[in-house]
Chains A and B, each alone.
Chain A
Amino acid sequence: MPVPALRIRGLRKAFPKVVAVDGVDLEVAGGEVFGLLGPNGAGKTTTLEIIEGLTTADAGEIEILGLTWERYGQEIRSRIGVQLQSTSLFNKITPREALDLYGSYYPKCRTSQDLLQLVQLEDKADAYHITLSGGQQQRLALALALVNDPEMVFLDEPTTGLDPQARRSLWDVVRRMKGEGRTVVLTTHYMDEAEALCDRLSIMDHGKVIATGTPASLIADLDLPSVVELTFEGVAPDPAAFAVRLGQAVEPRADLWEIPTSDPKALLPRLLEAAEAAAIPFSQVHIRRATLEDVFLHRTGRSLRE
């Protein structure tokens, strides 16, 4: 069996007021895109920063590419690429200069021209960093993570704060990294991003990994892999009385009710009848497959975005 690209055992990190990482085990195979999904404050970034050598753990073992930080720090640094949650560069450095400069720190590096092309930043190659938009700065950060042609890339919330179009173009870059055979570990609190990009992922909450698997298997493992939604015009009413009448759990959301089920075909007639009888003023009905969002909800009782 090949050595995993990343292996973590019993990782723990406590800050004065909170235990950020509470016994995390992870294993990432070479060449896969692995995601850490969880809400803000789940411990994703701390976990990643410990792996990257930015923070020291209180306990636990880490092996990156078969190497440990204690003995092979410099070698690990030269073989991994890192995008920090916020990459703060000097205001008046240009993307081209930044790529050349950071490239010079490594024994092997890619040309700035290649990288600029890869992240579609050729137009802005000679503009000061401070004049770039958020999306452009993120793309530059991504290019910087690739400057040493790394075997393994760590991306911390690569698309947070970006508009939908900028997110798509970043996803393309991540897919290209995988295509080039790199192992990618990324954190995100967007379940659609995790579903679209990750081969496998771990869901984190309160410093613990609560589930690990492929997106499909995580969803399939749910007892109730489908969801029926009743949408309202305006704010959804309190579903407590209706749930009793229906004999099934009903989760209120902003403008809809969600009813998880294993058999939507059987539920639907019963549901419509009950809604009719209780004079529920819903406007539309949807049936959808459960998502990672539902997995998180099911495991924690909370929504990802809460």
Chain B
Amino acid sequence: MIWRQFLMEWRLYSRDRVAMFWTFAFPVILLMGFGTIFRDGGGPNLAVVRVQAPMPTPRDAALDQALTDLHLKVQSLPRAEAEARWSRGETAAQLEADGAGYRLRLNSYLMAQAGATAGLVNQAWLVAQARLSGAPEPQRIPVQVESPGHKRSTNYASFLLPGLLGLNLVSMGLFSVGMVNVSYREKGKFRRLAVTPLPKWIFLLGQVLHRLTVTVIQAAILLLVGRLIFGIQNQGAFLDLLLIMALGTGCFMAFGFALSGFAETSEGYAAISNLVFFPLMMLSGVYFTLDAAPAWLQHVVAVLPLAPFIRALRAVFNDGAGLAGHGVGLIIVTTWGLAAFALAVRRFRWA
């Protein structure tokens, strides 16, 4: 019965060519876009805006040279233009002459970039001073870029790929699946099923299994493109990756189905799913670390499913880790998934 339901889902799905194309193409396009933008190296480049002096001194020249040597991107602009750019908020750090010395203005909104830039500018200033006075250049501590898993250094696109896989799957579960469910219910597409003896859980499980396979195919395409175009290799075991993906898909699909039981209309569903998606996303630690958050919040965050899922995905994919270190995380994901599925079956209505 489940098998039949599953096959029919696939057959109907495969007839909607446009939807199917975009489902598979969208993450690939996203990867191509980001991967191309950040092709060389570790994320966004650091840049400093240099306000041009009316008459550059040798000291200015030495500083500019040192900045370039330290791989800072220097944008030399006339004062008026630099100020305009600053007030538009596009500048992270701006360097200008100030009396006998220099002044560095940092954009408080872009502190991550600005802070790193400030460190490099100060180093450059020490180098330039040494060069001008003929003293030996100050020693720098050697830097090595590595992924946190200590296996080997990877570029931004390979960091991005597992995140894309994960996020794509979460949004598919929360938005597409749940939304489709609500809109079909609104259009009365399930009413005819309500008068048959088909159990709800078989109907739902058929859909989850269908989506699960869609996700696996999607992931396979993404991995293939990542490998062929960006040379990104899966560092871990494919079976581990498959298992994590399957658990994650199951979990977030079940989330979508469960939420769809709480919404009367598609509009209502959009509101509810965002209400769940954004906290999940913001608190997942994907965008910023929660080290500074209060302890109780950290405890809450520790049992949410998104972070352990993405973490396990990255560890396996980027660092070639095994599943051993992620048992607790995967148990959290599975528990959420089962609880959500139980809730989904309980709340599901045919009409």
Contacts and interface: CB of A to CB of B under 8 A. Distances in A.
Does chain A bind chain B?
A: yes
B16 A92 contact: yes
Contact of A86 (B8, B188, B350): B188
A101 B198 CA distance: 11
Interface string A56-83: 0000000000000000001001101010
Interface of B: 1, 4, 8, 11-12, 15-16, 187-189, 191-198, 350-351
B204 to A, nearest CB: 15
Interface in A95-116: 97, 101-102, 104-107
B108 to A, nearest CB: 54
A52 B351 CA distance: 13
Contact of A105 (B12, B198, B350): B198
- Most chain A CB within 10 A, of B192, B193, B350, is at B192
Given A97-B11, A106-B196, 16 more contacts: A54-B195, A77-B196, A77-B197, A80-B195, A82-B192, A84-B188, A84-B195, A87-B192, A88-B191, A88-B192, A89-B189, A89-B192, A90-B12, A93-B8, A97-B8, A106-B197
A101 B189 contact: no
A174 interface: no
A64 to B, nearest CB: 12
Nearest to B191: A84
A102 B16 CA distance: 21
Contacts of B4: 101, 104
30 contacts: A53-B194, A54-B191, A54-B194, A54-B195, A54-B350, A74-B197, A77-B195, A80-B195, A82-B195, A84-B191, A87-B192, A88-B187, A88-B188, A88-B189, A88-B191, A88-B192, A89-B192, A90-B12, A92-B15, A92-B16, A93-B8, A97-B11, A101-B4, A101-B8, A102-B192, A104-B4, A105-B1, A105-B196, A105-B198, A107-B197
A240 B104 CA distance: 99
B198 to A, nearest CB: 4
Contacts of B187: 88
Interface of A: 52-54, 74, 77-78, 80, 82, 84, 86-90, 92-93, 97, 101-102, 104-107, 128, 144
Given A54-B351, A92-B12, A101-B8, A84 B192 contact: yes
A74 B8 CA distance: 23
Nearest to B13: A92
Nearest to B11: A97
B196 A102 contact: yes
A219 B195 CA distance: 35
Contacts of B195: 52-54, 77, 80, 82, 84
Name the 7 nearest CB pairs between A and B, nearest first. A82-B195, A92-B15, A105-B198, A105-B196, A77-B197, A88-B188, A78-B197
> Which of B8, B11, B195 neighbours the largest number of chain A CB atoms within 10 Å of its CB?
B195
A121 B207 CA distance: 29
Nearest to B188: A88
A90 B189 contact: yes
A54 B188 CA distance: 12
A190 B192 CA distance: 24
A110 to B, nearest CB: 14
A74 B12 CA distance: 27
B37 to A, nearest CB: 38
Nearest to A107: B197
A97 to B, nearest CB: 7
Contacts of B1: 104-105
Contacts of A90: 12, 189
A216 B194 CA distance: 37
A86 B5 CA distance: 23
Contacts of B350: 54
Contacts of A88: 187-189, 191-192
A54 B195 CA distance: 7
A82 B197 CA distance: 12
Contacts of A128: 15
Nearest to B350: A54
Nearest to A104: B4
Contacts of B193: 105
